[in-house]
């Protein structure tokens, strides 16, 4: 480590996906709470916050969840498992939350901004998150933005599939904030998409509309838990300057 490394660099560089945790240590549950509080501050599309975070701490539920994470060692040895969940069914609630913010008398927003945001949450958001039947509405919206796009730059991602991507993007950002926060408290994590989402939804009593984004294991890592050296493409291979 160079002495010019900032605390943030140190956290990012030391994070590795941990596949085996020390199960003998006293585990400080509060760091997960603090890390989730930070995760909730992550940027998210239109501040819709269509997410939920399920902390699975009881031995019985953890064992079931680890089994649904395909019995991966990281899940089986974790002190706690956190399930990051997408809630597309919370759109109405989120629109209302944002409209309340816009109309809050203590808001320091400029009137012109307020009016634009009022319009955005009462018209654009309901349209973007509208339900679809046989993809018909998505196709109509796609056609509309294609026509608008002939005249001016416009958002093209308007289908029901794009909507899901939008929600999951935001949750992935929260997941990264969470993992870095846990790392900063001296614990480790591993994100998992290798899991049976249907069975996990049943375990968490979630409705059909909810979607599992990922499960993240948390605990005190071990040397054996890092399975291989960290290797990434070189900077010049993946970063392009135009
Ligand atoms: C969306 C996502 C899903 C992942 N799923 C799994 C998983 O199911 N099991 C696992 O052991 N690692 C999983 N990983 C961890 C990656 O394998 C790991 O990040 C990658 O190999 C790079 O290693 P590093 O995180 O140690 O730098 C996942 C990572 C991401 C971002």
Residues of the chain with CATH 3.40.109.10: 15-87+165-238
Q: What is the pLDDT of residue 104?
A: 87
**Which CATH class for the 15-87+165-238 domain?**
alpha beta
CA distance 84 to 90: 15
User: 23 C-alpha vs ligand 1 centroid, how far in Å?
Assistant: 21
Residue closest by Cα to atom 18 of ligand 1: 17
Q: Which atom number of ligand 1 is nearest to the Cα of residue 69? A: 8
pLDDT of residue 112: 85
How big is the CA angle at 212 (ends 211 and 216), to the nearest 5 degrees? 160
pLDDT one digit per residue (tens) for the chain, 242 residues: 557 899 999 999 999 999 999 999 988 999 999 999 999 999 999 999 999 999 999 999 999 999 999 999 999 999 999 999 999 999 999 999 999 999 887 887 888 888 999 999 999 999 999 888 778 989 999 999 999 999 999 999 999 999 999 999 999 999 999 999 999 999 999 999 999 999 999 999 999 999 999 999 999 999 999 999 999 999 999 999 99
Distance CA 82, CA 69 (A): 12
Q: Which atom of ligand 1 is nearest to the CA of 226?
A: 26
Report the run of H or E that residue 37 belongs to, with start and end. Answer: helix 30-39
Indicate the top mutation candidate among 81, 178, 180, 193 to test ligand 1's pocket, ranked by most ligand atoms within 8 A of CB. Answer: 193
Ligand 1 binding pocket (C-beta < 6 A) is 16-17, 19, 72, 74, 190-194, 214, 230
- Determine the 3-state secondary structure of 38 from DSSP: helix
């Amino acid at each position: 480590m160079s002495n010019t490394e900032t605390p943030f660099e140190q956290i990012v560089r030391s994070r590795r996906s941990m596949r085996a945790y020390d199960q003998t240590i006293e585990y400080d549950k509060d760091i997960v709470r603090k890390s989730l509080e930070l995760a909730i501050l992550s940027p998210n599309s239109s501040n819709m916050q269509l997410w939920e975070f399920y902390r699975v701490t009881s031995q019985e539920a953890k064992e079931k969840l680890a089994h649904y994470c395909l019995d991966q060692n990281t899940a089986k040895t974790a002190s706690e498992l956190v399930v990051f969940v997408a809630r597309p069914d919370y759109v109405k609630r989120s629109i209302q939350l944002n409209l309340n913010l816009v109309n809050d008398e203590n808001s320091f927003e400029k009137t012109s901004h307020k009016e634009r945001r009022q319009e955005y949450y009462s018209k654009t958001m309901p349209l973007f998150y509208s339900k679809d039947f046989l993809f018909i509405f998505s196709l109509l919206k796609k056609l509309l933005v294609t026509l608008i796009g002939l005249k001016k730059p416009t958002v093209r991602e308007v289908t029901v599939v794009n909507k899901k991507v939008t929600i999951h993007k935001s949750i992935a950002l929260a997941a990264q904030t969470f993992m870095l926060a846990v790392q900063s408290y001296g614990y480790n994590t591993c994100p998992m998409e290798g899991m049976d989402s249907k069975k996990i939804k049943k375990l968490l009593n979630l409705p059909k509309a909810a979607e599992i984004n990922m499960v993240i294991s948390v605990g005190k890592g071990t040397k054996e838990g890092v399975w291989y050296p960290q290797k990434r493409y070189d900077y010049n291979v993946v970063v392009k300057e135009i």
